[in-house]
Amino acid sequence: MAESTPSPKAILRGHKAQIHAAAFVRHNERLATGDAEGWVVLWDLTIMRPRAVWRAHEKAILGIKGWGRDKIITHGRDHKLIVWKIREEDEGRLSVCLPLEDTPTPRPQPWVLHLLEVNTMNFCSFAACLSDAAQGSLEEAAPTAEVTIAVPNTLASEAIDIYTLPSQDRIHTIKSSQKNGMAMSLSLFHHHGCLTLAAAFENGFVSVHRLGSDGSWTMTYRSQAHTQPILSIDVHPNREYFFTSAADALIAKHPIPISQQELKEWEHPLKVINTKHSGQQNLKVRSDGKLFATAGWDSKIRIYSAKTLKELAVLSWHKVGAYAVAFATVDDASPSSNPPEIAKPTPSEQPTESIVKEATGASPQTSSNNAQEATSLIKGPGMSVKDRRLQLAKTAHWIAAGAKDGKVSLWDIY
> What does the pLDDT read at residue 370?
36
Quick count: other Cβ atoms within 10 Å of Cβ 128? 24
For residue 382, the model assigns a pLDDT of: 66
pLDDT at 268: 83
Provide the pLDDT for residue 265: 52
Helix (H) or strand (E) segment spanning residue 65 = strand 61-67
* Domain CATH for 296: 2.130.10.10
- Tell me if 334 is assigned to some domain: no
- Judge whether 157 and 122 are in contact, CB under 8 Å: yes
Domain count, the chain: 1
For the sheet containing 39-44, what is the strand order? Answer: 19-25, 30-35, 39-44, 49-55
What is the reported pLDDT for 365? 34
pLDDT in the model for residue 395 = 79
**Residue 78 · residue 115 · CB < 8 Å:** no
With respect to residue 333, please indicate whether it lies within any of the assigned structural domains: no
Question: Tell me, what's the pLDDT at 332?
Answer: 58
**DSSP per residue, 235-271:** E-TTSSEEEEEESSSEEEEEE--SSGGG--TTPPPSE
What pLDDT, on the 0 to 100 scale, is given for residue 362? Answer: 36
Enclosing domain of residue 217 = 2-328+339-412
The answer to whether residue 293 is domain-embedded is yes
Q: Give the pLDDT of the chain (414 residues) as one tens digit per residue.
A: 344 567 899 999 999 999 999 999 998 999 999 999 999 999 999 999 999 999 999 999 999 999 999 999 999 999 999 999 999 999 999 999 999 998 888 899 999 999 999 877 778 999 999 998 877 889 888 888 999 999 999 888 789 999 999 999 999 999 887 788 899 999 999 999 999 999 999 999 999 999 999 999 999 999 999 999 999 999 999 999 999 999 999 999 999 987 666 555 557 899 999 999 999 999 999 999 999 999 999 999 999 999 999 999 999 999 999 999 999 998 754 433 344 444 433 333 333 333 333 332 333 333 333 333 344 444 555 678 877 777 777 778 899 999 999 999 999 987
Gap between the Cα atoms of 300 and 403, Å rounded: 10
- Whole-Å CA distances, 210 to 17, 34, 66, 75, 162: 38, 31, 25, 24, 13
The reply to whether 371 falls in a domain is yes
Q: Could you give phi then psi for residue 217, rounded to 5 degrees?
A: -100, 135
pTM of the predicted structure, to 2 decimals: 0.86
Q: Is 212 helix (H, G, I), strand (E, B) or coil?
A: coil
- Cα–Cα distance for residue pair 321/403, rounded to 1 Å: 6
What is the reported pLDDT for 141? Answer: 86
Contact 201, 219 (CB under 8 A): no
The answer to the question of residue 400 being in a domain is: yes
- pLDDT, position 5: 66
Q: Is residue 248 part of a domain?
A: yes
Report the candidate in 297, 320, 154 with the shortest Cα–Cα distance to residue 232. 297
